[in-house]
Structure 1
Amino acid sequence: MTSTSEPRRFERSRGRRVGDAVISVFVRAHLVPRTYLLTTRGRRSGRPRTNPATLVEHDGRRWLVAPYGVVAWVHNVRADPRVVLRRAFDRHVCTVREASALEAGPVLQKYVRGSRPTRPYFVASLDAPVEEFVAEADRHPVFELVSWA
């Protein structure tokens, strides 16, 4: 069953930055499940850029989902697929690859079922078939973690 309304559009705002900062504190303290601090290298500046990101485990593999669409960290990862994921005292240097729409569909479906705050950014509803999530893959990039060290 597809939602009839348009999905919410992501807008970077002061409130969003404050929210990310608050969530980052909770992630560092290991209080938010499945969420890590994702550090990418800025595609233009070369400086490290850090954002909270939720890790999805599906079919024995790890995935990063961009629920708000093609945002800055997505551009950075496309320019340089090496990332660092941190949470509490854990630190993982990883390489990612962008998933095809067919691969992304089931991952997006699982992500939406487990992430209530980002549901308004998706057209497909909670109980939609995987095909509806495949259709949304171009708006919500998914990246597989191909190395985990």
Structure 2
Amino acid sequence: MRYVEAGRSGNLLNRVVGWLTGRGLSLWGSQLVAVRGRKSGEWRTNPVNPLTMDGERYLVAPRGHTQWVRNLRAAEGRGELRLGSRVEPFTAVEVPDEGKPQILRAYLERWKFEVGLFFEGLDHHSSDADLLRVASGYPVFRLTSARYEAAS
């Protein structure tokens, strides 16, 4: 399973972006994904860039099978998106690899400047075949607002 450590500069950047996002200042659309830890049960947060495409929202993990991804799987897709005091509960369904190329392309078109180094030379001009070749290393989740589910 592909997992890229954030490193010192990445950890520092995540802390700064997380701190600002937690106080309501979104940088380039950033939000915090909050998921209960699979061992501790405590809320864990990480800055993410939700993608809206064709009326659907997605979370992409550019560093691979990270802790927030593992926690989200263990929490059966239940989590929250946070921006300042605004909290939106969601449920997530993992997208199969064959459904990822268009989503990865849109994600790279929107955020390549920020996450491109994790995509090993790929960008939004990459072929479907190239994106499908690496898809298993980039978890993608389709989000549904839990508020809408409760109303249905």
Aligned counterpart for 1:50 among listed residues 45, 53, 64: 45
Farther off after superposition, 24-33 or 96-105: 24-33
In the other structure, the counterpart of 2:24 is 29
Normalised TM-score (structure 1): 0.85
Instruction: Read off the aligned partner of 1:86 and give its amino acid letter.
Output: R
| Cα offset, 1:25, TM superposition | 2.7
Q: Deviations over 1:107-140 (max 9, x none)?
A: 1111111111211211323411233222221001
Q: Check if 1:128 corresponds to 2:122.
A: no
The answer for unaligned runs of 5 or more in structure 2 is 148-152
Q: Distance in 2 between matches of 1:148 and 1:52?
A: 20
| Cα offset, 1:148, TM superposition | 4.4
Name the structure where helix makes up a greater proportion of residues. Answer: 2
In the other structure, the counterpart of 1:93 is 89
CA contact (8 A) 2:88 2:145 kept: no
Sequence identity, in percent? Answer: 29
Aligned counterpart for 1:20 among listed residues 3, 11, 14: 14
Instruction: Read off the aligned partner of 2:139 and give its amino acid letter.
Output: P
Q: Distance in 2 between matches of 1:14 and 1:31?
A: 22
Normalised TM-score (structure 2): 0.84
In the other structure, the counterpart of 2:142 is 144
Select the structure with the greater relative contact order (CA < 8 A; seq sep ≥ 6).
Answer: 1
Farther off after superposition, 118-127 or 104-113: 118-127
Q: SS of the counterpart of 1:91? A: strand
Farther off after superposition, 16-25 or 48-57: 16-25
CA contact (8 A) 1:105 1:135 kept: no
